[in-house]
Structure 1
Amino acid sequence: MTTTPTTSLRPSAPADPVAEVVRKEIGRLQQGYLSDRSEAVADLARLRRGAGKDAATIPNLWGLLDIELLHSTPGVRPDEAEEAVFIAMTLYALHQQSRSAAMHRTGGDELGAAVRRLMPPGEIDEPVRKRFVRAGSAPTLAVLAARLREITLLLRGADLSLDYALLAQQLYAWQRPGGRDQVRRSWGRSFHAHRPPKNTDAPARTPDETDQKDAS
C-alpha cells in the first residue's frame, strides 16, 4: 500500500524565508516594545498605520523592515513575499498595541484556532464566525488584509496571541495557484480542531477597541 504525501502549512518551516523574516523582525520589535524602548514603540506605530492597507503605497514604511532574504533566496517571488510580510507585520503591530504580553508566539495559534478561542467553550459566536467566514471568502489579497484587520482587533481586545510567522507564510501561499483553497482548509481545520483548556470557565474578554495607548 502506498501513501500520498500531504502538504501542510503548519508548522512554519525554519527554512521558509517569508516566515523567517517575520519571526526575526517581530522578535526584534516585540522585545523592544515590551521593554518600552522608544525606537521599537515608534516603529510599531509606523507599521500600525499600514494595517489593512497596501504597504507599497505608504512611503513611511519603506526600509523599515529587513527583507533582504526575500530577494536573495532562489525561487522566492519577491513582490508576493513582500506583500505577505508587510500584511502580517502591520497586523501584528496593530495587535500588539497597548498590550503588555507578547501577541506573537512562534508555534502558537493558527488563525482558525485563535478565532475559536474568541468564543465561549462549546458555543459558536455567530458574529465572530461571520467575520471569520468573510475573511476566508475574500476575493483579493487587499480585501483579505482588511478583513483580517477586523479579526486582529477582536484578538487584541481578548488578549489572544497568534503565530504571525505562520500567517505570513499562509498569505504568501494564498497568492499561488491553488493556494487560497489550501489556506482556507488549514484555517478551517484549526478552527474545528481547537479544544479549550480543561477547567476553563471564564468567557473570552469583551473586545475593547477604544484602547489608545501610544495611538498614532
Structure 2
Amino acid sequence: MTSTSASAPPAAVPVHQRVAELTATHIGSWQEGYLNDRSQAVAALARLRRGAGREAGETPDLWNLIDTDALHASTAGTRLLSEQEMVRAENALHAALTLWAFHQQSRGAPMHRRHTRERPGGLGAAVRRLMPADGVDEPVRKRLVRAGTAPDLVALTQRLRDIVALLRREDIPLDYALLAGQLYLWQWPDGPAAVRRRWGRSFHEQRRPRPASDENTTPDTDKDAS
C-alpha cells in the first residue's frame, strides 16, 4: 500500500530579501535608462535625489515614483506584512534608492552592482576600496564606524551619504539591493549590531588592489550572496 503526502509549502521569503529584490528591480530599470540618457530615467533620478536623507513619507513627490506594490502582495512564498514591517521596509527602500540616485548622478558607469564572492559589493568592501591596497585610511574607516553607530535611520542615511560622496568621486559601485536589505534589518532590535558585523566582514573581504576602471562598465546581475 502506498501513501501520499502533500508537498510542503514553499518557505516564506524573508522580508529583508523582498526589500532587496524590489530595490534591484527599481534600480535596474532606472540605471539602464539613465546610462542611455532617457529623459524619464534622468527625471526620476532628479526626483529621488531630493528625497535623500529624509524619511520615506516626507517627500510626496516620490509617492507615485517608488512602487511598493510588491511589498503588499501575498503570493506563493510571501505573506502579508505587519504595519511595523511595512513601515520599515518602505523606509529601507526609500533610503537605498535615494542614496543610489545621488551616487549615480553624472556618472557614466553603473554605480549599483550586485555583490558576488569574486567581486564583493557590500558597503565595507566599497569603503575598503577607497583606501591604499597596503594600508588603512583611518579617517575613511572612521566614517564607516560612525555610520554604524547612528542613532536612527535618518542619521544613518545622512552619514551613508557622506560615504557615498567619496565612492561617487572614485567611481566605486555599491550593491544597493544588499544595502536596502541591511537597512531593513538595522531598524529592528539588535539589528544595528548585526549589520555592523556584516559591514566589518565585508570590509575585510575586500583586500585586493582596486580593479581597472573598466570593471564597472557592465552591471553584475548575479543574485546577492549575503
Within the candidate set 81, 99, 113, 1:91 is matched to 99
Shift of 1:201: 10
Please name the residue that 1:164 is paired with.
176
Match of 1:78 in 2: 86
Runs of 4+ aligned structure 1 residues displaced above 3 Å come to: none
Identity %: 56
1:72-91 Cα deviation digits (max 9, x unpaired): 24253111000000000000
Q: CA RMSD in A?
A: 2.2
Gap runs ≥5 in structure 2: 1-13, 214-226
| 1:188–1:15 Cα change, 3 Å | closer
Q: What is the 5 A alignment of 1:1-216?
A: 16-73=17-74, 74=79, 76=81, 77-107=85-115, 108-197=120-209
Under a length normalisation based on structure 2, what TM-score does the superposition of the two structures give?
Answer: 0.79
Gaps of 5+ in 1: 1-12, 203-216
SS at match of 1:102: coil
SS for the counterpart of 1:109 is: coil
1:9 aligns with none
Counterpart residue number, 1:205: none
Residues of 2 paired with 1:103 and 1:112: CA distance? 15
Distance in 2 (alpha carbons) for counterparts of 1:197 and 1:129 = 17
Task: Count matched residues.
Answer: 190
Query: Displacement, 1:51?
Result: 1.2
Larger Rg: 2
For 1:100, what is the secondary structure of its paired residue? coil
Aligned equivalents of 2:62, 2:80: Cα separation in 1: 25
